[in-house]
A and B are shown apart, each in its own frame.
Chain A
Amino acid sequence: MRLARKLIGEGSFFAAVFVLVTFAAFPFYWMLLTTFKTDGDLYNLKSNPYWFNAAPTLEHIKYLFEETLFVQWIFNTALIGVCVVLITLVVALPAGYSLARMPGRTAESLGIGIFLTYLVPPTLLFLPLSRVVSLLGLQDSLWSLVLVYPTFTIPFCTWLFMGFFKSVPREIEEAAIVDGCTVMGAFVKTVLPLSVPGILTVVIFAFTLTMQEFVYALTFISSSDEKPVTLGVATDLIRGDIFYWGELMGAALIASVPVAIAYNLFLDRFIAGITGGAVKG
């Protein structure tokens, strides 16, 4: 009796886990399957869609790399990402340090104020920003995204940096100052080397946040060769009303994998950043 109950308990537990994982991951399994199916296999209502009915093919991937702008889009995304990360580091690193070390309540209010701007959504700003972008002559250029993306990476990363720098003991800088460093020198020589893990986290997050953005890209850019991969795939692989699902899913899969891995590795820090230590350990 006891054993039977235990088995039923275990069974339903794993069944529940299976259902959840399927719900979460099925679209990605679907991407994978579609990418490698032949067109004859894809567009056939009679065959079982859950597995290959004809030998898998690389034809969609080949088409994607040879006949479309996919490689260009990936390059654009990488270029935008690198530039945005650099701007974010240059602006957010000192700001986070300053907020962590500034005495009194002003620093706290400023910190919360900057964090709240992370809550201002692209939906509220895309219209006026599209005008600003065209006034600056950046319409249809990926540089418009390099300019605008830091508006959400800077607030979030400043907040993350503030947390990191607060965890670096002030005594270390004080010791360096006593030994003859300037305040600036103490920051560069003692605090920065200690915060390399923090900087790395920020780099990853600024990059993934940039990769996930869609609204600004959709609003500002209409030339195919200036698009980042998330926009190009969603808008340019569809000709007329015809969806090339093999190519579409292949492109989505290839562009998703790196982001998914990076996110999983740094997930805990992301949550710590968002909740700002809302729960004391």
Chain B
Amino acid sequence: MTAIAEFAPRARHRFLFDRAEVLGPLFIAPAILYVFALVALPFFLAIYYSISAFTIFDPSYRFVGAKNFLDVMQSDVFRRTLANTFIFTIGAQIIGLLLGKFAAMLLMKEFPGRGLARALVVLPWAVPVSLATLAWQWMFDSLYSVINWTLIAVGLVDAAHPPQWLGQQDLAMIAVTVVHAWRLFPFGVVIFIAGFTSVPKDILDAATVDGAGFWRRNYQIILPIIMPIVVIGLIFGTVFTFTDLSVVYLLTRGGPINATQVLGSLGFQVGILSGDVAHGAVICLFLFPFLLLVVIFMLRALRRREI
């Protein structure tokens, strides 16, 4: 009896730490609270701003309904921005995916220096975006561009009128898209490599024995097997591109004359630099329907994985 009495306090302490049904929620609560406080609440705050006349100069709340949305949708700059965002996203995805698949197929082979080649190919994805973009800005320099120097040396371009990569509307859009594709394609490479290595060798051997050639093996056997992983990679890539503002902001600030403006950079310019929080919030909220679609796709992809 005395022994039991002695252990009583410890038993109570054990009681709490022994109940999985208490510990489970206790363990996960901080994560949920953090995400709720700093992701969910700010999101609702953005909606709140979008239907008000809130600016940093006049931070009082005045309900204006859908006026901000109408303002934004009627502006030419915004329409151009929306179109740019899609061109930017689709262009970078296509280049990134094609290059990624091609590079992954090359890197699947054994050859001397493969490890080094893979490490170098991954660099654009690994290095912080602002620093890598600076290098491109220097390569696109209006006077000392190495790209122009090379083009002139080869004789493709007239030395008197070298292309202004970041100063001409059409070229700037191409430059921004290519830089983002450059950043994205290593991600495609690793995704495809992960996919390729997961294809069982015996299936390929069986197909080869049955007479399947290169294209048939690639598109009727390998592709369907690696599809789930490619879809997830594509979803991530699309989200990163569609919502990116770093590359555009650093290279062109959205210019010349808004020619490269995307939703993110326009939202930044209006909401932060000009201080018009309400209209900035509206512009950024235009990302949301797109993200919602992506989430639905993502859920389906994840569910397919379970089966």
Contacts and interface: CB of A to CB of B under 8 A. Distances in A.
Interface of A: 13-14, 16-17, 20-21, 23-25, 27-28, 30-31, 34, 42-43, 45, 49-50, 90-92, 94-95, 97-99, 101-102, 110, 112, 114, 116-117, 119-132, 147-148, 150-151, 154-155, 158, 182-185, 208, 211-212, 214-215, 218-219, 230-231, 233-234, 243, 245, 248-249, 251-252, 255-256, 259-260, 263-264, 267-268, 271-272, 274-281
B218 to A, nearest CB: 16
A211 B250 CA distance: 17
B35 A127 contact: no
A218 B248 CA distance: 13
Interface of B: 14, 17-20, 23-28, 30-32, 34-35, 38-39, 41-43, 45-46, 49, 99, 102-103, 106-107, 109, 111, 117, 119-139, 141, 143-144, 146, 149, 182, 185-186, 190-191, 194-195, 198, 225-226, 228-229, 231-233, 235-236, 239-240, 243-246, 249-250, 263-264, 267-268, 271-272, 277, 280-281, 284-285, 287-288, 291, 294-295, 298-299, 301-302, 305
B282 to A, nearest CB: 10
A200 to B, nearest CB: 18
Given A231-B130, A276-B302, 5 more contacts: A117-B39, A124-B287, A126-B284, A264-B122, A275-B233
A143 to B, nearest CB: 14
Contact of B42 (A91, A132, A249): A132
Contacts, number: 285
A8 B90 CA distance: 35
B246 A151 contact: no
A50 B153 CA distance: 12
A252 B272 contact: no
A279 B291 contact: no
B39 A127 contact: no
Contacts of A119: 235-236, 239, 291, 294-295, 298
B31 A158 contact: yes
A243 B126 CA distance: 25
Contacts of B232: 274-276, 278
7 contacts: A24-B121, A25-B123, A116-B298, A128-B49, A131-B277, A259-B128, A281-B198
B146 A49 contact: yes
Contacts of A151: 34-35, 38-39
Contact of A185 (B17, B119, B128): B17
Given A128-B43, A130-B272, A94 B28 contact: yes
